[in-house]
Structure 1
Amino acid sequence: MNKFTPIIPLACLLLAACGSDNDSNTIVTPVPPTPDPAPMQYEFKVTAINLTNAQPLSPLGAALHTSGQFWQIGEMASLELEQLAEGGDNSGLLGLPVVNSSASSEGAVGPGQMIELMLTTTSLMDQKLSLVSMMVNTNDGFTGLNSIDVSQMSVGDYAKMTTRAYDSGTEANSEQSGSMPGPADGGEGFNALRDDVDKVAMHPGVVSNDDGLSTSVLTSAHKFDNPLMAVTITRVK
């Protein structure tokens, strides 16, 4: 009897030779995760010029925030605003929880001097810009910009504006020796005692010794008119 020898296809033989664990030597290279994109950076340049004759301004503070106001006319000044208006200390206002970006000049801004500050944020939504400085040859006078909307500015856009003089209403405008921190007096800065109307108002201006206030250490040179600063806000990035 003839034996029948089955014909096994070559492909089957090759498969048999490979064995059942043919994937055991496959090298798998892991795909690194795609890194998160760097957050978008938005940058604003603030340029300010002191327009007064003889009123140095305390270190200029600028902030970006999405809510709140640094002051309101007719309302009581916050402790942080009082510290700025009486002693020129802007750290309290720049450190408020609503602030997401801030900058401050290194020193006082003299008459005619220009200061430039840069502010950076990762979002434009609802962004507002505020600017603050004390008139240091006063008892509690300050100037600045309060919650200016910059959320719609495009790169290259700029806004020019001026600032006015405000009175925090926390210290009487006595102009007496020892009551003002500026170079005209070199006296006290912040004092927690509030002995004035205790509400923010437009500043009435200084009286001075030349005008008959015999107890004043200020002269007519220290008088000022609005505006106090010329400010330009530019979106640069």
Structure 2
Amino acid sequence: MSSLSNFKKSALILMLASSLAACGDNDNSDPIEDQEPVVVVEPEPVVYEFTITFSNLTAGQPLSPLSVIAFDETPPWKFGETASVGLEMIAESGANEEYLSDENALASVSAEGGIGPGETTSVTLLVDAQDVLNLSFAAMLGNTNDAFTGLSSVDVSTLEVGSSISRTTPAYDAGTEANTETADTVPGPAAGGEGFNEIRDDIADMITMHPGIVSNQDGLSTSALGAELKFDNPVSKIVITRTQ
């Protein structure tokens, strides 16, 4: 009886061994390295395209190249707050390189050149699609100490392709330079004076509405600016069209 039992146990062990060997042979016949790799295709990012048309509505003030910044939540400037160095450079000299490199910018672009009184220009901005998307704008009024125009924030998150948003813009005072209007402090063609100066001598030191220029014909004898350079609000018009 014992011998029969041992025989059955031995037979069972042999059967299990054969089965395991067969499984091993099947695995070896289809090695992992022979299987085709799975290719994961990343979806193409959705890109929004905006065409911005910028019109100078003044009779005598040249405007610096329009600067456009796309952002989600934090605008590059706000009314009533202290101007950044980038905005100060625009408002005092029209130079926009520092401004366009704002740390919160998702994308930015500059128009190619300044825009004269009554003229219109356009610029195209490309930015990856965002759940929250805003645009900000800034341009200097050339024959001033530190006046600029623009829009702090325009929500374009839900703007459909082919649709437009139109806004007019007032003149703001950057609050970074006193409005002396002297020949050595106004950089525009009417005076040809100094542009950006890192020293801030305007006691306000915050962005406010611009009071307008006084001019040498209005009693400010030291002003390098004539009455023809005075301006009323609005000073520009901006039309934003989503083209893609």
Q: What TM-score range do you get, normalising by the shorter chain? A: 0.7 to 0.9
Q: Is the 1:51–1:112 contact (alpha carbons within 8 Å) kept by the matching residues of 2?
A: yes
Pick aligned residue for 2:92 from 86, 89, 97: 86
Q: Quote how far apart the aligned CAs of 1:32 are.
A: 6.5
Q: CA RMSD in A?
A: 2.0
- How big is each residue's C-alpha offset from its partner over 1:125-170, in whole Å with a ceiling of 9 and x where there is no partner? 1100001100010000000011111101111111111011000111
Where does the alignment leave 5 or more consecutive residues of structure 2 unmatched? 1-24
Q: Quote how far apart the aligned CAs of 1:31 are.
A: 5.7
Matching of residue 225 in structure 1 with residue 237 in structure 2: no
Identical amino acids, percent of aligned pairs: 46
TM-score (norm 2): 0.83
CA distance 1:34–1:74, change in 2 (3 Å): closer
SS of 2:87's equivalent in the other structure is helix
Pick aligned residue for 2:122 from 92, 102, 116: 116
SS of 1:83's equivalent in the other structure is helix
Matching of residue 174 in structure 1 with residue 180 in structure 2: yes
Matching of residue 140 in structure 1 with residue 111 in structure 2: no
What residue is the counterpart of 2:9 in the other structure? none
Matching of residue 49 in structure 1 with residue 55 in structure 2: yes
Give the AA of the match of 2:233: N
Distance 2:152 2:71 in 1: 11
Structure 1 runs (4+) deviating above 6 angstroms are: none
Match runs of 1:71-110 below 5 Å:
71-110=77-116
Distance 1:73 1:35 in 2: 45
Matching of residue 205 in structure 1 with residue 217 in structure 2: no
TM-score (norm 1): 0.85
Total equivalences in the alignment: 217
Distance 1:117 1:63 in 2: 12
- How big is each residue's C-alpha offset from its partner over 1:59-117, in whole Å with a ceiling of 9 and x where there is no partner? 11111111212323332222221111111112222101110111101221111121111
CA distance 1:209–1:126, change in 2 (3 Å): same
What residue is the counterpart of 2:66 in the other structure? 60
Give the AA of the match of 2:160: S
When you count helix as a share of all residues, which structure comes out higher? 2
Q: Quote how far apart the aligned CAs of 1:29 are.
A: 7.8
Which stretch has the larger CA shift, 101-110 or 66-75? 66-75
Give the AA of the match of 1:126: V
Where does the alignment leave 5 or more consecutive residues of structure 1 unmatched? 1-19
- How big is each residue's C-alpha offset from its partner over 1:171-193, in whole Å with a ceiling of 9 and x where there is no partner? 11111011111100111001111
Which stretch has the larger CA shift, 69-78 or 140-149? 69-78
